[in-house]
């Protein structure tokens, strides 16, 4: 297969990347983890990018896009792509590798360090000036890339917020025919210029399943319900703790009348297992 087909398709999404990427603020040493629940499956659509916007800091602006794309080539036939777009600047990048002059996203296992010391960063200028940094795979008579195994694998990402350069990961799953891309979860380190390992969700604490506790908001009261007991913490988007409490007897109400309107993160910790969910105060 002629790899120039891939290059031309990726270049066509430069304008898309410029239009949707934004910036946001955060500070602290914690890891912000987002469970995509339920998982999102992006099936290939011919001549259209079926995309998911990864918003690491939940400010409403995309920091990265993961998508599926397909087209019919007159001689090669059906071509499927699982691809990534990152911010249009010379800092944002994905961990990758070079194949005959074309960069591809590296498929990372769990526990791989994503940090400034990594030597395999491919920025947005690496692909002929295109702001679409990498393709994960192509599938027709052959496949390029490392993700099309049907297993959970990770993307290592570097991106820019108003506080500086940050590092994160996205977990995806791509079948052997690259007919879809499944987005499972993602996380990033809130402290600028500080890395994390793929699959790390925060402070070495195990992840609490999202379906064992629930949140609801009424004005500036946040109600948490669960059959489990544990400690509750509400933090703002700068990492500052604004309220604490305990989960007892199946429910707890956090009074946030002193807090300003906006987005907050609720943490629920029970015997070394932690869950996080986002809430919006009006």
- Domains, the chain, with CATH or none: 4-197 (no CATH), 206-281 (2.60.40.3080)
Residue 180 has, within 13 A of its CA and on its CB side, a CA count of 12
Structure tokens at 111: 């526990």
Average pLDDT, the chain: 78
CA distance 166 to 188: 7
263 vs 282: CA distance, rounded Å: 9
Residue holding tokens 């955060």? 26
- The residue-averaged pLDDT of 138-145 equals 62
pLDDT per residue as tens digits for the range 153-168: 899 999 998 888 999 9
Asked if 226 and 213 count as a contact pair (C-beta separation under 8 A), the reply is: yes
Q: Is the pLDDT of residue 231 over 50?
A: yes
Query: Is 70 exceeded by the pLDDT of residue 24?
Result: no
Which position has the higher pLDDT, 176 or 252?
252
Per cent of the chain over pLDDT 90 is 18
User: In this predicted structure, what is the pLDDT of residue 182?
Assistant: 94
Rounded mean pLDDT, 109-126: 83
Cα separation of 2 and 10, whole Å? 14
Would the pTM count as exceeding 0.75?
no
Give tens-digit pLDDT for 62-107.
Answer: 888 898 888 887 877 777 778 777 776 678 888 888 777 777 888 8
3-state secondary structure 45-110: EECECEEEEECCCCCCCECEEEEEEEEEECCCEEEEEEEEEECCCCCCEEEEEEECCEEEECCECC
């Amino acid at each position: 297969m002629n790899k120039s087909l891939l290059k031309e398709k990726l270049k066509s999404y430069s304008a898309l990347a410029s239009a949707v990427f934004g910036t946001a603020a955060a500070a602290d040493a914690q890891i912000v983890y987002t469970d995509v629940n339920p998982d999102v499956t992006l099936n290939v659509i011919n001549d259209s990018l079926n995309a998911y916007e990864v918003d690491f800091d939940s400010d409403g602006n995309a920091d990265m896009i993961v998508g599926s794309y397909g087209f019919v080539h007159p001689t090669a036939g059906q071509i499927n792509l699982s691809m990534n777009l990152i911010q249009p600047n010379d800092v944002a990048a994905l961990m990758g590798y070079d194949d005959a002059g074309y960069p591809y996203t590296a498929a990372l296992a769990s526990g791989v360090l994503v940090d400034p010391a990594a030597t395999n960063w491919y920025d947005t200028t690496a692909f002929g000036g295109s702001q679409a940094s990498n393709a994960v795979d192509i599938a027709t008579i052959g496949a390029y890339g490392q993700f099309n195994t049907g297993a959970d694998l990770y993307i290592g990402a570097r991106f820019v917020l108003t506080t500086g350069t940050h590092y994160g990961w996205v977990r995806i799953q791509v079948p052997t025919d690259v007919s879809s891309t499944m987005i499972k979860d993602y996380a990033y380190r809130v402290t600028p210029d500080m890395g994390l390992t793929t699959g790390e969700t925060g402070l070495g604490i195990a992840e609490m399943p999202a379906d064992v506790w629930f949140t609801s908001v009424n004005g500036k009261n946040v109600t948490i319900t669960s059959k489990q007991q544990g400690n509750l913490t509400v933090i703002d988007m700068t990492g500052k703790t604004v309220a604490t409490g305990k989960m007892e007897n199946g429910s707890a109400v956090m009074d946030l009348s002193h807090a300003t309107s906006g987005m907050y993160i609720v943490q629920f910790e029970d015997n070394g297992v932690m869950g996080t969910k986002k809430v919006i105060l009006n």
